[in-house]
Structure 1
């Protein structure tokens, strides 16, 4: 059975406004809400960066059904892993069965300005992520934890408020090494749409499967989640123009990975033509076309689809998608 979620664009909307959209997502039939976790947004002018952990607590209190989580949080620089364990332990205890911790290795735009630390190479970022996951899970399952890792330490630490069942950890990956780790050590895998077919079919999904097969429990339930970038409206020109708000996503990893200033990120994004800005998105006025093109990702093996819409009128998108697209997706794939 497929799961259909809403991506809450924390970089684009004020926290209260975004909370209203996310409550509406539950009302119109979405199954989940995932929020990005940024210290700084993709752009300096008209950008937003709410504290995701506070915001998720408010969402849990205002809703009753949707699963909620981060997509994605970096538990290795701004946050000590023990604080992440405490925060998600608390949310898991308050909203049992409704919380997911989505994590990744991070980007310099978020971590460097807030910490002043130099941005390390991938090898260190990946090592920190693995160590952080080990510590988080240890704190969720043991008491008086004295952890002596290469990067993180605790002294007789205990998380007192936590759920009976640990919160699932989903790992975001854009390459082979982290994808294999996601399969071996994660409860789920996260990636984004709009990239080459070969990346999904020859690298990411095979490496996830390889890691899962090599894990201690290969038969455990495992979730494959993809953020599907969609721009859906009755007006094709509007649907196309809306993608300008997220032109940064069309920048290559080489163009943006080491950018640490939102002013520079905004300059790079604004310089892109609308055709390139729209290249990562399923832009359409036809609900059946949306279903067909989303079905490509279902065919690859993704069953958890989280929809990210770029436009400023999110309420309009949610109502249109809830009425015209979600029922078609459930009828065809559910």
Structure 2
């Protein structure tokens, strides 16, 4: 099985200019893709960033030549009307044919509630996501689209600049319903590493298979993408301490529920011990250990690994990982 190797541009941790430079370095280091999240607000206030993904993708496309570029993930249901996202990604697809991926998800209140939006229950968020993807793909496929959905409407709308190479839609999920949807209608599936193994083995992969089967497809028809959270350095303590910036990822859903202020999220995260902050990450100075633990996800069926490093020195990570880990990983596949 051929495995793609990607780089996660941490929009919550770095400003747009730095991130663009990292993307160029990632391409030079041999990475196959670069993905950026689309946050209005970061997980922490001090040292946090939140560059807009859409203009960033356009700028980075112009500075790179071959890497795939996409969102992991963008929410096309609250801050954006789905038709605006259809237009934006059609434009990107025209400019960088075959290199653009639209990764979507049902969203987080951290990004929407500060705009005065009412945050609905999961059932409505899922329904909005499903309808938004339907509208986006209809606009890419047809002209003068009159769409009468439960949440979104268009009246004889046309996307006039459509790319010759279709833009694939990937759906990000961590639960069975959205995962089944990805299996049924999406070109790819996005999730993150570092959770209980049973989630992937017993919930997500079976749900993805079920959705694909209902659509007459198999998992071979989808790109299974997973964000690999890795902290690698020659200094073990540095690799451990680097995870502190992302301690919010180790908070439980109950701890994060209803928290829309980065200052409060930061307070909760900073109260965690560093060992807890590191629990979502593969933290090791041993390249062989990284390869062995990453191989487990490949064995589960994931074939597009997007590496997210937590430290402040991303150039150091790209150099070290590119030299010591990626060659061994590619040798496996």
d(CA) in 1 for partners of 2:20 and 2:52? 12
Change in CA separation of 1:63 and 1:315 when aligned onto 2, cut-off 3 Å: same
* SS in structure 1 of the partner of residue 19 of structure 2: helix
Query: How far 1:258 sits from its partner (Å)?
Result: 2.4
Equivalent residues in 2 for 1:134-149 (5 A)?
134-149=134-149
Given that 2:35 and 2:70 are in contact with CA atoms closer than 8 Å, whether structure 1 keeps it comes out as: yes
Q: Counterparts of 2:118 and 2:137 in 1: how far apart (Å)? A: 27
Task: Identify the residue that residue 125 of structure 2 maps to in structure 1.
Answer: 125
TM-score (structure 2 length as normaliser):
0.98
Q: Which runs of 5+ in 2 are unaligned?
A: none
Quick one: distance in 2 between partners of 1:330 and 1:219?
21
Cα deviation code 1:142-175 (max 9, x no counterpart) = 0011111111111111111121232111111111
Q: Does 1:6 align with 2:7?
A: yes
CA contact (8 A) 1:184 1:212 kept: yes
Distance 1:24 1:310 in 2: 17
Describe the SS at the equivalent of 2:325: helix
Aligned positions of 1:87-106 closer than 5 A: 87-106=88-107
Deviation of 1:217 (Å): 4.6
SS of the residue aligned with 1:112?
Answer: helix
How far apart are residue 280 of structure 1 and its match? 0.4
Contact kept? 1:107, 1:257, Cα under 8 Å = no
Distance 2:244 2:161 in 1: 43
Q: Return 126-135 or 156-165, whichever deviates more.
A: 156-165
Report if the CA contact (8 A) 1:144-1:158 is conserved.
yes
Tell me how far 1:128 sits from its aligned partner: 0.3
1:173 maps to what in 2?
173
Structure 1 contact 65–98 (Cα < 8 Å) conserved? yes
Equivalent residue, structure 1, for 2:41: 40
Report the equivalent of 1:71: 72
Aligned residue runs from structure 1 range 77-88, under 5 A: 77-88=78-89
Describe how 1:200-279 pairs up with structure 2 within 5 A.
200-218=200-218, 221-279=221-279
The CA deviation at 1:220 is 7.0
Write the deviation string for residues 249-308 of structure 1: whole angstroms up to 9, x where unpaired. 101122214211111111111111000000000001111111001001001000100000
Deviation at 1:85, TM superposition (A): 0.3
Aligned partners of 2:46 and 2:238: how far apart in 1? Answer: 22
Q: Which ranges in structure 1 are unaligned for 5 or more consecutive residues?
A: none
Task: Provide the C-alpha distance between the structure 1 equivalents of 2:218 and 2:279, rounded to a whole number of angstroms.
Answer: 36
User: 1:109 corresponds to which residue?
Assistant: 110
Give me the whole-angstrom Cα distance separating, in 2, the residues matched to 1:213 and 1:226. Answer: 21
Q: What's the offset of the Cα at 1:218? A: 4.7
Asked whether the 8 Å contact 2:98–2:166 carries over to 1, the reply is no
Q: CA 1:87 to 1:257, structure 2 compared with 1: closer, same or farther past 3 Å? A: farther
1:293 counterpart = 2:285: no
| Deviations 1:162-203, CA, capped at 9 Å, x for gaps | 212321111111111111111011111111001111100110
The answer on 1:280 being equivalent to 2:280 is: yes
3-state secondary structure, aligned to 1:167: coil
Secondary structure of 2:190 counterpart: strand
Cα distance between partner residues in 2 of 1:222 and 1:164:
21
Q: What CA distance in whole angstroms lies between the structure 2 residues aligned with 1:254 and 1:225?
A: 26
CA contact (8 A) 1:32 1:68 kept: yes
Which residue matches 2:188?
Answer: 188
What residue in structure 2 maps to residue 58 of structure 1? 59
CA contact (8 A) 1:107 1:258 kept: no
Shift of 1:219: 7.8
Name the CA distance, whole Å, in 1 between partners of 2:267 and 2:162. 43
